[in-house]
Amino acid sequence: MSRRNNNGNAIADNGRKYCDVFINHRGIDTNRGVASLLYDHLERFRVRCFLDNKNMKPGDKLFDKIDGAIKDCKVGVAVFSPRYCDSYFCLHELALITESKKKVIPIFCDVKPSQLRAVDDGALPPAQIERFNSALEEAKLTVGLAFNSHQGNWADVVTNAGNIVMESLMEIEEEKHKRK
């Protein structure tokens, strides 16, 4: 359940801004591309999205803000890219999305699903590597969109992803009403 603040933004009962969609991505690869374009596209349709560089401000606690947005969201969009698995934060977010049983919509941007793997470089406990690889396996076994940023049409991938997200949100709402 949510309420609205003075600006009309939805606020979850826990005081955080509520979001429908959490966009999980590797900023260095996708910030100025598909992640930001998808955020802007969905926001135009009044779909509330969380994208780190759009929703976070100096002073925000990373894990509090990100983990809270994942808990509050209905759908997670994972934008996989060549350096995605190099990021602890990307892998943590994906694991939390899958562990929370949220629907994941994968976008494979300049990377094949078979290339995704959390590498054990000794910096993390083996259980954490297993957690990350389990989340990656779940995402790899989910039908997603493939996009080659050098040859593909940006508008097409953003429109297709946006349509899939909106259809998913409608399905979730329909299921919610059926259970009542």
Q: Where does 24-140 have alpha helices with state H?
A: 27-30, 34-44, 52-55, 62-72, 88-99, 126-140
Of 151, 147, 160, residue with least CA distance to 113: 147
User: Cα angle vertex 83, ends 169, 110, to 5°?
Assistant: 65
Q: Which residues are catalytic?
A: 93
Strands (E), 74-165: 75-80, 103-109, 145-147
Scored b (16 or more CB within 10 A) or e, 146-157 reads ebeeeeeeeeeb
Six token digits for residue 120: 């054990």
139, 94 Cβ separation under 8 angstroms: yes
